[in-house]
Amino acid sequence: MRAIFRAFFIYLFVVVSATLCAEKYITTFQPETPEKFKRFGEYFYDMKNVNPYPIPNVLDRPDGKGKVKTAQEWTQQVRPLVLKYFEDEVYGAIPPRPDTIKFELFESSKNALGGIAERRQYRITVGAKYGERTFHVLLYLPLNAKGTPAFICPNFNGNYTISSEPEVKKIIAYRSRMKTHQRGSYASRIPVAEIVARGYAIATFSYEEIYNDGKSQEIAQKSVYGIFEENPTPKNSIAMWAWGNMRVMDLLQTLPEIDSQKIAVAGHSRMGKTALLTGAFDTRFAYVIVNNSGCMGDALSKRKYGETIKSMFGTHQVGYWFSPALKKYIDNEGTMPLDQHHLLATIAPRMLYTTSATEDYWADPEGQLLGLIHACPIYKLFGATNFPTLDALEIEKPVHANVAYHIRKGKHDMTSYDWNNFIDYAEKCGWKPKTK
């Protein structure tokens, strides 16, 4: 009996010690200088401003006809209403499929990444009433891939910055800032060798080949919008970037080496917002990964902590990412009938992973997790029972439940730690790489 008591108290000591030692993210006031306030005209991290509005229940129908009771009701009646709201009020419409689409393999090697991968470079040419546009996709596959799962993840600075291999085509004039970079300088953000070594394919493209990240009329006209409109104006670039993800999906679905039922879309920051929109409107994506996406991504706008609608349209001048209709909610989030958890819920019952970082206050880590938590009642309609709680704010303790979440130490970024967790969760959900 004494031995049993001793064992019990040892167990209790271990549990209590682990609890006390656990490091958890807590939303706190972050000091801001008077100069910053003068520049931005508001405090972003003032705790007295947090949670000023109630969060609408995701089960409440937007049309006021009671609560959603079944997965069928959600899928057939309510989900289309949610998507219509985000199309009309937030992101604008995603363009249709192009009238023509051509895939050209212009370079390949079966001895890539030190002999562990096959590299392919594709030129995708899309056409419609007002002409054609071209963009480039860099694809790495495990050697002898056969029905392998794949990730699509846009990059920010050009395909050549994701790989140091000299054969990767160097296209420079992307960013409105016109910066150039060293080969492989952003390889840590999409670690292609690590992804391939775990048996997965990875496709990437520069988002600015779809729509250069700027607000000028010239940029809008040179964007892919130019094939659909004679004189496009700066607007809805996130919707256009999501359209680019969908065209890469079109490509991967033609490749027998890829399992077309196991393709994920991933994105960091504004590309995280884009990944979420992509998965919401294109159910071909079985897995949606939303990394550090913040306001108008996975974070709740009604929280009023960190980045806001006002800052995007005002201080940072990125209103062209969205529909002009979103402007009416500047300093007016309380009137928004829906919030970002509704968009997260449209991914159900597919795989969904959202992430935060401890020093990424701008993205509001707690608001990001709350967005995921408030989406989970829709997953429950589909039979899911295992969801994250606010305890998931324990740092680097991933929760791989029916939906997944983690908060990583560090700054606003996408890292090897993130990618290995994305793959761990995929494998928990039954994704198994195959080779011939």
The catalytic residues are 269, 412
**Distance, CA of 425 to CA of 62 (rounded, Å):** 32
Whether 78 and 64 have beta carbons less than 8 Å apart is answered as no
DSSP 78: I
Residue 158's region, left for phi above 0, alpha for psi from -120 to 50, else beta, is left
Helices (H) and strands (E) in the chain, counts: 12, 10
DSSP reduced 3-state for 67: strand
Strands of the 201-204 sheet, one edge to the other:
100-112, 117-128, 131-142, 201-204, 148-152, 258-268, 287-291, 351-357, 404-408, 399-400
DSSP 243-274: HHHHHHHHHHTT-TTEEEEEEEEEEETHHHHH
DSSP 387-430: ---GGGGBTT--EESSSEEEEESSSS---HHHHHHHHHHHHHTT
End-to-end Cα spacing for the chain:
58
